[in-house]
Amino acid sequence: MFRQRAKVQPSLQPHPNSEREKNSREGTDLEDEARRKHTDSRSPSSNTETRTTVVLESAQNKGGEVAHETRVRQICSELEAASAKTQQTKEKVAAVLDSSPLKSLEQRWQEFQDAFDAMNRKMVENIARSLQRHAVHVDANANDDPKIPSLSQADIIHDIAQGIHTGMYKSVSMLTGAGVSVASGIPDFRSPGGMYDTLRPELLTANAKERKAMKLDPTTVVSWGLFQENPLPYLELRRPFILGVAKEEWKMTLAHYFQKALHDHAILNMVYTQNIDGLDQQAGIPQTKIINVHGTMAEAQCEFCATMEDQKTFVNKVKMNVRDIYGQNPGAPKKSTPILCSHCKKPGVKQRTVLYGRTLPPEFYESQKQDLPQTDLLIVAGTSLTVAPACDLPYNVGASTKRVLINREKAGQGMLDLRNRPGSRDYFLHGDCDDIFLKLLEALGWLSDIPLGKLCDNSKRLVVEHLKRRAMPRRTGGPDT
C-alpha cells in the first residue's frame, strides 16, 4: 500500500539546508513507522480467530453448557463476514492515509487502530455471551426419536388460542420485523431487488468520494458518517417513503390488527417493532405500548441537537427542498437544499429513525428491564433475528415464557427449539405473517371484529376470500358427487 522511500543520509558538513533535511528525515521516519504499523495489522482475522478459539474452548469447559453446534457455526460465519467487512474498511482507511497530510498521519492511524481494537473486543464479547447464555437445552433422548411426532400448525394455533382464553397467557409481547408489513406493499430495503440492492449513487447529490463509498456499501446512504457531512443523499433516497407515510399511502396488515386486538382484550404487554413505517400507530395501538427499536417515520427530529420538529412542517419542506430522483413528482425542485433545524440551525432535520453508527433509543433498553419480565407469551413475527440488539430479545425473556416464531423461514436456529415437539417452550409457525395471523384471529373468535376498511388491499382480500370459503356449504356424498 505504501511506497518505500530511501532514508536521507546525514551530511558530514554544515549546510544552509541542514534544518530542512532534518525535518525531512523525521517526516520519513514517521511515515516508515506508520507503514510498519499498517503492515503489522493488515491481518485482523488471525488475531480474532485466536481470541475466538480461546472463548470457544473456555465455554466448552464450563459444565458442558455450550450452545448448539448450529449456533456456533452461525456465529463463526458471522465473525468471518465481519472480518471481511473490517478488511474492506481498513483498505478504505489506508487509501485515505496515503493521501493525508504528513502531520496528521500518526494521529489518524492511531484513531483507526483504537476503533478497530474496540470492535474486535466487542465481537468476542458478543460471541461469549451467545455461547454462555443462549444455549438451547433440550431432552437429548428426544432429538431424533421418530416416535415423538411434531405438532401440526393447527395444533399449535389451537394451543396458543386456548392459552389466551384460559388466562395462561395474560401478558403478550411481540417482536416484529419487515415481514409483518410485506402485505401493505411498503418498499423493501435489504432483500435482493430491494432499495439497497438497486441503489444508484450517481443519481444522488453527492461528490465522487461519497458516491464511491455508497457503491461499495449501499448502507452508507443511511449512515451517520455520511449524513453529518451531507444529508441530501439520505433525504433524496427517503423522499417517496416520507411523503407516502404522511399520506398514509400504506395501510395496516392483519399482523398489525392482531396487535390491536390483543390491546383491546387487555393482554398486550408491549410491541417491539424493528420497522419504521408507523403502521403500529396507524392500527390504533397507544404509543405507550410501542417500542420503535429503530425509530419511526411518524416524527421529525434534528440529528445534531435532538430538537423535535413539527412533522407536517418537515413533510412540506421535504416537498419543497428535496428533488425527486425517481421521476414520480414533476413539481419537485430540480436541486436539493438542506432542511435546517429551528433551534441549532444545522442541516440535521430528518425522520426520527436510527442511522447506522448511532445508538438505539434508551426506552428500548429500559423496557427490557421493566416490561419484558412480565411477558407470558412472546410472538416473534416477520424477522430473521439477525439484527442486533433486537435479535437478543427472545433470549432475554423469563425461562417460563412461551416463544412463538411466525416467519417464512426458520430463524434463531440453535437458540430456539423449532421442532414443534409437545411440551417445548418454543413453537414455529411457518408461512406468511398475514396467513398465520388470520388463523389465530379465527381460532380466538376475533375475526368478525376486523375493520376491513382500514386494512391494506392484500389483507382485506385475504379476509374476504376466507369468509367466502367458510360460508360455502360443504359438499357431501361419494367421490362422484
Query: Which residue do the cell numbers 448448539 mark?
Result: 68
- Phi and psi torsions of 341, nearest 5°: -75, 140
Residue 470 φ/ψ, nearest 5 degrees: -70, -30
Strand partners, 381: 176, 406
Q: What is the DSSP string of 173-208?
A: EEEE-GGGGGGGTPPPSSSTTSTTTT--GGGSS--H
Pairing of strands 349-353, 295-302: antiparallel
* All residues at 6 or more sequence positions from 204 whose CB lies less than 8 Å from its CB, including other chains: 211, 214, 221, 232, 233, 236, 237, 325
Q: Are strands 402-407 and 426-430 parallel, antiparallel or unpaired?
A: parallel
Report the distance separating Cα 55 and Cα 35, nearest Å. 31
Three cell numbers, residue 291: 417500542
Catalytic residue among 158, 294, 430, 466: 294
Query: Residues 304, 223, 253, CA angle at the centre, nearest 5°?
Result: 100
> Which ranges in 186-303 belong to alpha helices (H)?
208-216, 224-227, 232-246, 254-264, 279-282
Which residue in the block uniquely carries the three cell numbers 488471525? Answer: 46
Residue 192, judged by CB atoms within 10 A of its CB (0-12, 13-18, 19+), counts as exposed
Active site residue 466: no
Active-site positions?
Answer: 294
